[in-house]
Amino acid sequence: MTDLRQPRIVIIGAGVAGIAAAHTFKQAGLTDVTICEKGTDVGGVWHWNRYPGLTCDVPSQLYQFGFAPKADWSRVWASGEEIQRYHRDVVERCGLDGWLRLGTEVTDAVYDDESATWTLSTAAGETLHADFVVCATGVLHHPHVPRIDGLDSFTGPVVHTARWDPGLETGGTRVGVIGSGSTGVQIVSALQPQAARLLHFTRSPQWILWAPMGVRQPAPLTALLRRSPGLQRRLYASALWASGILADVVLQPTWRRRAVQAYARSSLRRQVRDRRLREELTPDYEPLCKRQVVSGTYYRAITAPNAQLVTGPIAEVTPTGIRTADGTHHEVDVIVLATGFRTHEYMRPMRITGRDGRSLDEAWAGGPRAYRMTAIPGFPNLFTALGPNSPTGSISLQFSAELTSRYIAQWIERWRRGQFDAIEVTEKATDEFARAVGAAMGPTVWNTGCTSWYQTAGGQIDLWPFDRKRMEEMLDHPDDRHFDEVLLGS
Ligand code: NAP
Residue nearest to atom 34 of ligand 1 (CA): 291
pLDDT in tens, 299-339: 999 999 999 999 999 999 999 999 999 999 999 999 999 99
Mean pLDDT of 171-182: 98
DSSP character string of 112-125: ETTTTEEEEEETTS
pLDDT number for residue 3: 84
pLDDT number for residue 181: 97
From the list 145, 144, 143, 146, the residue with the least C-alpha distance to 315 is 146
409 and 467 in contact (C-beta within 8 Å)?
A: no
Among 160, 203, 289, say which to mutate for ligand 1: greatest number of ligand atoms within 8 Å of CB: 203
- Can you tell me which atom of ligand 1 is nearest the CA of 453? 3
Q: Which sign, positive or negative, has the C-alpha torsion 172, 173, 176, 181? A: negative
Within its chain, how far is the Cα of 483 from the centroid? 28
| Ligand 1 contacts CB of residue 291 (under 6 A) | yes
From the list 12, 15, 19, the residue with the least C-alpha distance to 34 is 12
CB atoms under 10 Å from CB of 152, counted, come to 8
8 and 32 in contact (C-beta within 8 Å)?
A: yes
Scanning 62-192, the segments in alpha helix (DSSP H) are: 80-93, 182-191
pLDDT in tens, 426-448: 999 999 999 999 999 999 999 99
Cα 177 to averaged position of ligand 1 atoms, centre (Å): 12
d(CA 130, CA 33): 9
pLDDT in tens, 345-355: 999 999 999 99
Cα 206 to averaged position of ligand 1 atoms, centre (Å): 10
Task: Tell me the HSE value of 321 on the side-chain side, using a 13 A CA sphere.
Answer: 14
pLDDT number for residue 284: 97
Cα 286 to averaged position of ligand 1 atoms, centre (Å): 17
CB atoms under 10 Å from CB of 326, counted, come to 9
Domains annotated for the chain, with CATH where assigned, are 9-142+342-485 (3.50.50.60), 144-206+290-340 (3.50.50.60)
From the list 313, 314, 350, the residue with the least C-alpha distance to 142 is 350
d(CA 461, CA 368): 11
- Can you tell me which atom of ligand 1 is nearest the CA of 293? 32
Q: Is the pLDDT of residue 1 over 90?
A: no
Cα 70 to averaged position of ligand 1 atoms, centre (Å): 29
Cα 338 to averaged position of ligand 1 atoms, centre (Å): 6
d(CA 103, CA 106): 10
Cα 248 to averaged position of ligand 1 atoms, centre (Å): 24
| Ligand 1 contacts CB of residue 287 (under 6 A) | no
CB atoms under 10 Å from CB of 488, counted, come to 11
- Phi/psi of residue 54, each to 5°? -60, 120
pLDDT number for residue 170: 97
Give the SS3 label for residue 375: strand
Give the SS3 label for residue 232: helix
Beta bridge partners of 175: 198, 334
Residues written for the chain: 490
From the list 335, 339, 337, 336, the residue with the least C-alpha distance to 320 is 335
| Ligand 1 contacts CB of residue 146 (under 6 A) | yes
Cα separations (Å) of 93 from 41, 68, 174, 402, 461?
15, 9, 44, 17, 37
CB atoms under 10 Å from CB of 244, counted, come to 15
d(CA 318, CA 315): 10
- Can you tell me which atom of ligand 1 is nearest the CA of 182? 25
- Can you tell me which atom of ligand 1 is nearest the CA of 55? 40
pTM: 0.97
- Can you tell me which atom of ligand 1 is nearest the CA of 54? 42
pLDDT in tens, 62-81: 999 999 999 999 999 999 99
Task: Tell me the HSE value of 178 on the side-chain side, using a 13 A CA sphere.
Answer: 27
pLDDT number for residue 394: 84
Proportion of the chain above pLDDT 90, given as a percent: 96
Among 56, 63, 75, 140, say which to mutate for ligand 1: greatest number of ligand atoms within 8 Å of CB: 140
d(CA 27, CA 406): 10
Q: Is the pLDDT of residue 363 over 70?
A: yes
pLDDT in tens, 195-223: 999 999 999 999 999 999 999 999 999 99
Q: Mean pLDDT across the chain, nearest whole number?
A: 96
pLDDT number for residue 490: 74
Higher pLDDT, 348 or 393: 348
Cα 468 to averaged position of ligand 1 atoms, centre (Å): 26
Residues 6+ apart with CB under 8 A from 437: 389, 464, 465
Residue nearest to atom 23 of ligand 1 (CA): 340
| Ligand 1 contacts CB of residue 60 (under 6 A) | no
57 and 211 in contact (C-beta within 8 Å)?
A: yes
Q: Is the pLDDT of residue 392 over 90?
A: no
- Can you tell me which atom of ligand 1 is nearest the CA of 162? 26
From the list 448, 455, 471, the residue with the least C-alpha distance to 395 is 471
| Ligand 1 contacts CB of residue 293 (under 6 A) | no
| Ligand 1 contacts CB of residue 203 (under 6 A) | yes
Q: Which sign, positive or negative, has the C-alpha torsion 135, 138, 141, 146? A: positive
Cα 354 to averaged position of ligand 1 atoms, centre (Å): 33
Longest dimension (CA), the chain: 79
Q: Is the pLDDT of residue 297 over 80?
A: yes
pLDDT number for residue 2: 61
485 and 419 in contact (C-beta within 8 Å)?
A: yes
Mean pLDDT of 389-414: 95
Give the CA angle between residues 402, 404, 407 to the nearest 5°: 110
d(CA 307, CA 190): 12
| Ligand 1 contacts CB of residue 179 (under 6 A) | yes
Cα 400 to averaged position of ligand 1 atoms, centre (Å): 23
pLDDT in tens, 130-165: 999 999 999 999 999 999 999 999 999 999 999 999
Respond yes or no on whether the N-terminal peptide bond of residue 465 is cis (omega within 30° of 0).
Answer: no
Cα 339 to averaged position of ligand 1 atoms, centre (Å): 5
